[in-house]
Amino acid sequence: MTITALSLGALLAAAAMETPPAPAAGPSGPLQQKLAPALARYTDDVLFGTVWPSPGLSPRDRSLIVISALIATNKPAQLTGHLNRALANGVTPVEASGVLTHLAFYAGWPNAVSALEVYDRVYTDRKIDVAALQAKVGRLADDDGFGRSAEAALAPTAPKFARLSEEVVFGDLWRRSDLSARDRALVTIAALTAMGEADQLAPYLRRGREAGLKPAEVTEAITHLAFYAGWPRATEALGSVARTLEAKP
Amino acid sequence: MTITALSLGALLAAAAMETPPAPAAGPSGPLQQKLAPALARYTDDVLFGTVWPSPGLSPRDRSLIVISALIATNKPAQLTGHLNRALANGVTPVEASGVLTHLAFYAGWPNAVSALEVYDRVYTDRKIDVAALQAKVGRLADDDGFGRSAEAALAPTAPKFARLSEEVVFGDLWRRSDLSARDRALVTIAALTAMGEADQLAPYLRRGREAGLKPAEVTEAITHLAFYAGWPRATEALGSVARTLEAKP
Amino acid sequence: MTITALSLGALLAAAAMETPPAPAAGPSGPLQQKLAPALARYTDDVLFGTVWPSPGLSPRDRSLIVISALIATNKPAQLTGHLNRALANGVTPVEASGVLTHLAFYAGWPNAVSALEVYDRVYTDRKIDVAALQAKVGRLADDDGFGRSAEAALAPTAPKFARLSEEVVFGDLWRRSDLSARDRALVTIAALTAMGEADQLAPYLRRGREAGLKPAEVTEAITHLAFYAGWPRATEALGSVARTLEAKP
């Protein structure tokens, strides 16, 4: 379902003028319908009616970026439902655990640790075989120089930080094969967007493109994240995307 | 009560040198008095003794911006008391629910959903008639072009985001009459300040001024929010206000 | 233990290729080992194996910045363990309470209030004599003009905010002797880094240096905080440090 020029605006305008329908079982749930019926309408008609089913990005990728944003902004309460949805949408447990490990570095250990308890409950409820998470993880080829410009530029000021970035983040974390380079870039873009770190997106936008992430997928992902991290964060991130695309030789 | 040139500094300086008084029932509460008596003093003398009663902004507006900041920064624990205070200070349940819906877009769905449980408890405790929340909401006249420059500029890069901004956020959400345009601007300014999105304040400052929000009210609101979102966020937001006022033709 | 050129990268590379060892009792804990073994490895080998024991900053100072970052980003769940660690590492209860009061201003009252319940539990568990927290606090000499440029520049736009900054924050809070000026600067730098307010670091970097905080300690602190607030926040903060050092006459 895509947004056509008239449909969404007309639908909303009509809905606003009419007596709301009796509360029904929808993604919005009874509390939204009782306390904020307009919010329920936006949830059902726009977010779940239009954005989630939109063909510009797979449900699996939408789930990947939503769990990334929820972990990066410390929303364990909402993560429960969305981690379940992610696993149902095709994110594997190995990938989901890879997201957690990745975001410990990008959003800080405390956010990852908070999410860990949600993972435990969801994996237990879904009877996921956690032994598979202990399997050996392969290593991707190193991608020389990727994304390291900012950190390398800091070497004179902060040599240990530059070393940790080089050896641990780029030399080890990014070379793990539990997430593809394309997914790792997408997860990072989602986290930076949600954290309000749009100024640091550029190297990851480039890394994603090299690894097969299409520009249209990136803008669709950030559009989706407007609903999970707020319009201002998406506006900033898309501004950064626009500048990066223009700067492309 | 306003701050006079000598009173506050002299009061604090004197207090710091003397034996603290026995803990008393104040807004600070027993935990602050026991574990951080200086914090209790700032809470009682400065925040509740000077800032809240200051005449530059009505108690109702102060409550409106505080619940906005608490929702936008995901502080459900503190929202309970402040939502009660807001309703006591004259924010209507329809307006409070309007804030929630508005901030789903500006601060993301998860923050609104977290706040929803607080709303349910507070509305239930206060025996608020939630049927009134289901009433039809009118539509304000469209204000051509307001605040859409940033989003419209993104149309070549992110056409769907520009469409959602135009049709849903500006064409629908901002035209709802559950919040006045003046209040909606104030709520947005509070949320952007608290989220650290000072760079995006300009169109909302202009929109607020057009809708009757006085510049002195805006600076008073951001000064108040320094206590709820931290000094650095207020400093940034006031810097943005200063630049926007200067840029005024 | 410092990072040598080969050890850490080689260790991690080797570990990634081998069957992981049986879960052992380490700082990572059983959940990380079960659900995200790579995260457990980074926790044990890098964060607690290399960063925490590194000689560039004392364990006491590392604890001081970690509790500051956790309070400033509202992580009460993780604060429990780290406040215990801080007290064990030599942060005194008076200092820890001073951090809380200080961060009410820098990160907002709600974050301080959330932390207060953690403090109460930890102080009670450790049988800390809270009567000592009620003792008179001395006053440091005023440091004319420090850090007030941003706030003073806002006086024409926001005179009350400039007054509160001058009289309460710089004229009172910063002159309290429960935290040394050096520690107060370090706590502020940690909070600004964790909050993503790198643009506001400069006056506090200067104030810290005047009070004896070495540039190498600052970069070591921010490197440590990369693990608690995320790589992007540390990258931004170190960029600000580099610019401030360059701007030094």
Kindly write down the DSSP assignment for every residue of B188-214, as one continuous string: HHHHHHHHT-GGG-HHHHHHHHHTT--
Residues B136 and B151 in one domain: no
How many structural domains does chain C have? 2
Assess whether A171 and A61 both reside in one domain. no
Same domain, A168 and A190: no
Instruction: Note whether A127 and A213 are same-domain residues.
Output: yes
Pair (A166, A242) in one structural domain = no
Residue A2 has a pLDDT of 41
B226 CB neighbours in chain C (<8 A) are 105, 161, 164
Asked if the structure places residue C132 within a domain, the reply is yes
- Residue type for B35, please? L
Interface contact A106, partner B, CB < 8 A:
no
DSSP sequence for C73-93: TT-HHHHHHHHHHHHHTT--H
Looking at the predicted structure, is the pLDDT value of residue C60 above 60?
Answer: yes
- In this structure, the answer to whether residues A76 and A126 fall within a common structural domain is yes
Q: Are residues C162 and C214 in the same domain?
A: no
CB contact under 8 A, A227 and B163: no
State the smallest CA–CA distance between residue B169 and chain C in angstroms: 27
Residue closest to B117 by CA, chosen among B75, B178, B173: B75
More confident residue, A221 or A24: A221
ipTM (interface pTM): 0.90
The amino acid sitting at A124 is T
Whether residue A49 lies inside any domain: the answer is: no
- C161 CB neighbours in chain B (<8 A) are 219, 222-223, 226, 234, 238
Closest listed residue to residue A166, CA positions, set A152, A185, A179, A156: A152
Q: Does C15 touch chain B (CB under 8 A)?
A: no
Whether residues B245 and B199 share a domain: the answer is yes
Q: Give partners of C (≥3 CB pairs < 8 A).
A: A, B
Query: Is residue C229 domain-resident?
Result: yes
Tell me whether residues B101 and A38 touch, CB distance under 8 A.
yes
Nearest CA to CA, how far is C54 from chain B (Å)? 31
pLDDT of residue B9: 52
Chain A closest-CA separation from residue C239 CA (Å): 7
Tens digits of per-residue pLDDT, A195-225?
999 999 999 999 999 999 999 999 999 999 9
The model carries a pTM of 0.92
Give residue-wise pLDDT tens across range C178-229: 999 999 999 999 999 999 999 999 999 999 999 999 999 999 999 999 999 9
The residue from A160, A175, A190 where one domain ends is A175
Touching check for B27 and chain C: CB below 8 Å?
no
Q: Residue C129: is its pLDDT beyond 60?
A: yes
pLDDT digits 0-9 by tens, C131-154: 999 988 989 887 655 656 667 789
Looking at mean pLDDT, say which of B150-159, C7-16, C82-91 comes out highest: C82-91
Is residue B240 included in any domain, yes or no? yes
C149 and C220 co-located in one domain: no
Whether C92 maps to a domain, the answer reads: yes
Does A113 map to a domain?
yes
Burial pattern B6-27, b for ≥16 Cβ within 10 A else e, equals eebbebbeebbeeebeeeeebe
Residues A65 and A167 in one domain: no
Tokens of A196: 């309000």
Amino acid, single-letter form, for residue A194: A
Lowest mean pLDDT among C7-11, C122-126, C162-166: C7-11
CATH of the domain at C186: 1.20.1290.10
Q: Does residue B113 fall inside a structural domain? A: yes
Do A171 and A185 sit in the same domain of this protein?
Answer: no
pLDDT of B165-205, one tens digit each?
A: 999 999 999 999 999 999 999 999 999 999 999 999 999 99
CB A3 to CB B105 under 8 A? no
Spell out which residues of chain C touch residue B42, defining contact as CB-CB under 8 Å. Answer: 101, 104-105, 168, 173
Do the domain assignments include residue A44?
A: no
CA separation for the pair A112, B212 (Å, rounded): 45
Q: Is the minimum CB–CB distance between B114 and chain C shorter than 8 Å?
A: no
- Residues in A closer than 8 angstroms to B178, CB to CB, are 38
H/E stretch holding B130: none
- pLDDT tens readout for residues A87-118: 999 999 999 999 999 999 999 999 999 999 99
Query: Is residue C36 within 8 angstroms of chain B, CB to CB?
Result: no
Tell me which residue range forms the domain holding B150: 144-175
Q: What integer pLDDT is reported at residue A141 of this predicted model?
A: 81
Query: Is 90 exceeded by the pLDDT of residue C10?
Result: no
B9-53 pLDDT per residue, tens? 555 554 444 444 444 557 999 999 999 999 999 999 999 999 999
- B107 lies in the same domain as B195: yes
pLDDT tens string B139-162: 988 765 565 666 778 999 999 999
